[in-house]
Amino acid sequence: MSLGKTFQNGIVILGAGNVATHLSLALKKSNINIRTIYSKTAQSAKSLASKIDTNFTTTIDDIPKDADLYIIAVKDEVIIDIIRKLQIKNGAVVHTAGSVSMNLFQDIYSTYGVLYPLQTFSVSEDVDFSEIPIFIEANDQKLENDLLVLAKKISNSVKVMSSEKRTFLHLAAVFACNFSNHMYSIASEIIDQADVSFDVLKPLIKETTRKAIAGNPLDAQTGPALRNDQYVIQKHIEMLNDNEDYEKIYRFVSDSIFKLKQKKEK
Amino acid sequence: MSLGKTFQNGIVILGAGNVATHLSLALKKSNINIRTIYSKTAQSAKSLASKIDTNFTTTIDDIPKDADLYIIAVKDEVIIDIIRKLQIKNGAVVHTAGSVSMNLFQDIYSTYGVLYPLQTFSVSEDVDFSEIPIFIEANDQKLENDLLVLAKKISNSVKVMSSEKRTFLHLAAVFACNFSNHMYSIASEIIDQADVSFDVLKPLIKETTRKAIAGNPLDAQTGPALRNDQYVIQKHIEMLNDNEDYEKIYRFVSDSIFKLKQKKEK
């Protein structure tokens, strides 16, 4: 698939963090013309620009005005600032945020949209972008088509999705990724206390994930909370009584597991 | 490695649930002599006994008295009942529970211990027992050695661990396995509401687990809570306001993520 005339005047990336980095690397790999990297932080802008062999600027007014697409990949709360300061007459503007509505662009730009890659990125870790689902939205049919063509060059899983649905997707991702990871972190803290290596939990973590993905997580649930095994639950709560936060999480998550089971059985 | 004279008079399995089933299958595969399966539920006892081609009984008094080892693999709260009813003069008695102290056997038996496999089992799913860590404890050096020999026949990862440490291990496992799985379940419920398939979250879940296992979960943490991104956090809390339990979990886990970050930075 060729981009053809789509975005032939190139793309500007605004941001140089995790998402900006991995997206830029994937676009570069697909021979897409990235004109400039913009970031307030010179070090980050320079580092990313050198990785993909392009220019960078730390001055928003110096961004080329004639690119076809401006991708804003910055922290959610900074997006609105960038949108206001970026003085673009032509060209489309998109952001990459899960929880930010496309309507943020309204009344400021004529052609705009969203390109949301659903993944947990770390700057230092390579990712295979082809496996990352990308969700597209645009205020205009031509841009939607163009974004689909672009996204399909870097990912095998591209869908059009409204801002409202994308917000739910992002909320679900926070539970599935950020919160499940925090459960691992708490496990790691607890097991450290007993001078046991976190390594012994790794086969268990792998198997938990495998089961949740192969079937569905509701059917894969096990443990004292599901059995409402108060003997174990009370013992665990006692063990956590020097850490009020973990004790609360233990109580609420255990309650929630048992309630979801009862709801399912109805 | 041969068992030699270890447990040559065979093993009795008490229980026919998830742990009993997978343990029995693994022992059978290593040609270990399982004399009898005991379960109060005839159907379960019969089903497991036929899988490993042995006898079963639903009457605790009919259990052979001359076996070398009795493995109690039942729900935690039932263990003490079984311990009291099982009239064994010779032979060692062990349980398979993470959170139950070995001292439960004290004053009732002379030779006793624990054989705790750390994994999440479902009756219908095959497991590769060789990858499952097994934790051993015994009140007597000979039994400890014998249990080590036995466990090493079915698993590549066998360690001796005290009851106290094992309790911490079990608590850590509840967070790492049961609670992380519940985070997937909540994600699944949320994404259902938006009519989006849970499948789109699977690459994210896989990557989250891969990162936590490859490095450590504290370094792998990402998301709005870590950044203390109140714009997103408040929006998510609003979205959850029809489900008090999920809203609470969102608040407490988000707080805990940020606090752990601050603690780490100190």
Asked if pLDDT for residue B1 goes beyond 50, the answer is no
Q: Dump pLDDT digits (tens) for A90-114.
A: 899 999 999 899 999 999 999 999 9
Which chain B residues are Cβ-neighbours of A257 within 8 angstroms?
178, 182, 185
Q: Dump pLDDT digits (tens) for A192-211.
A: 988 899 999 999 999 999 99
Which chain B residues are Cβ-neighbours of A22 within 8 angstroms?
none
Q: What is the pLDDT of residue A1?
A: 45
* B78/A contact by beta carbon, under 8 A: no
* A179/B contact by beta carbon, under 8 A: yes
Q: What is the pLDDT of residue B76?
A: 86
Q: What is the pLDDT of residue A2?
A: 53
H helix count then E strand count, chain A: 10, 8
Residue A109, SS3 per DSSP: coil
Q: What is the pLDDT of residue A189?
A: 95
Residues A44, A105 contacting (CB under 8 angstroms): no
Q: Range with the lowest mean pLDDT among A45-49, A97-101, B5-9, B133-137?
A: B5-9
Q: Apex CA B34: angle with CA B32 and CA B35, to 5°?
A: 140
Write the DSSP string, B115-142. Answer: EEE-S---TTS---GGGS-EEEEESSHH
Q: What is the pLDDT of residue A109?
A: 95
Q: What is the pLDDT of residue A60?
A: 96
Q: Apex CA A159: angle with CA A156 and CA A165, to 5°?
A: 140
Greater confidence (B125 vs A215) lies with A215
Average model confidence (pLDDT) across chain B: 93
Average pLDDT of A160-172? 95
- To the nearest whole angstrom, how far is the Cα of A224 from the nearest Cα of chain B? 8
Residue A91 gets the label, from left (phi > 0), alpha (psi -120 to 50) or beta, of: left
Q: What is the pLDDT of residue A32?
A: 94
Write the DSSP string, A179-192. Answer: IHHHHHHHHHHHHH
The residue of chain B nearest to residue A197, with distances taken between CA atoms, is B169
Query: Rounded CA gap, A185 and A180, in Å?
Result: 9
Q: Which long-range contacts (CB under 8 A, 24 or more apart) does A242-247 make?
A: A245/B252, A245/B255, A245/B256, A245/B259, A246/A186, A246/A189, A246/A190, A246/B256
Query: Rounded CA gap, A138 and A125, in Å?
Result: 30
Nearest to B177 among A208, A213, A236 (CB): A208
Phi, psi of A226 (to 5 degrees): -65, -40
> Which of residues 213 through 252 in chain B touch A, CB cutoff 8 A?
213, 216-218, 220-227, 229, 231-232, 235-236, 239-240, 245-246, 248-250, 252
- To the nearest whole angstrom, how far is the Cα of B253 from the nearest Cα of chain A? 7
Residue B195 gets the label, from left (phi > 0), alpha (psi -120 to 50) or beta, of: left
Average pLDDT of B219-241? 92
Average model confidence (pLDDT) across chain A: 93
B74: Cβ contacts below 8 Å, ≥ 6 apart: B14, B15, B17, B20, B82
The structure's pTM equals 0.89
Q: Dump pLDDT digits (tens) for B48-78.
A: 999 999 999 999 999 999 999 999 999 888 9
Q: Dump pLDDT digits (tens) for A105-153.
A: 999 999 999 999 998 877 677 888 998 999 999 999 999 999 999 999 9
Write the DSSP string, B147-170. Answer: HHHHHHHH-S-EEE--HHHHHHHH
B82: Cβ contacts below 8 Å, ≥ 6 apart: B14, B60, B72, B74
Q: Measuring CA to CA, how many Å separate B223 from each of A170, A254, B139, B218? A: 10, 23, 47, 12
Amino acid at A39: S
- Parallel, antiparallel or unpaired: strands A11-14 and B34-38: unpaired
- To the nearest whole angstrom, how far is the Cα of B161 from the nearest Cα of chain A? 9
B243: Cβ contacts below 8 Å, ≥ 6 apart: none
What residues does B93 pair with on adjacent strands? Answer: B70, B112
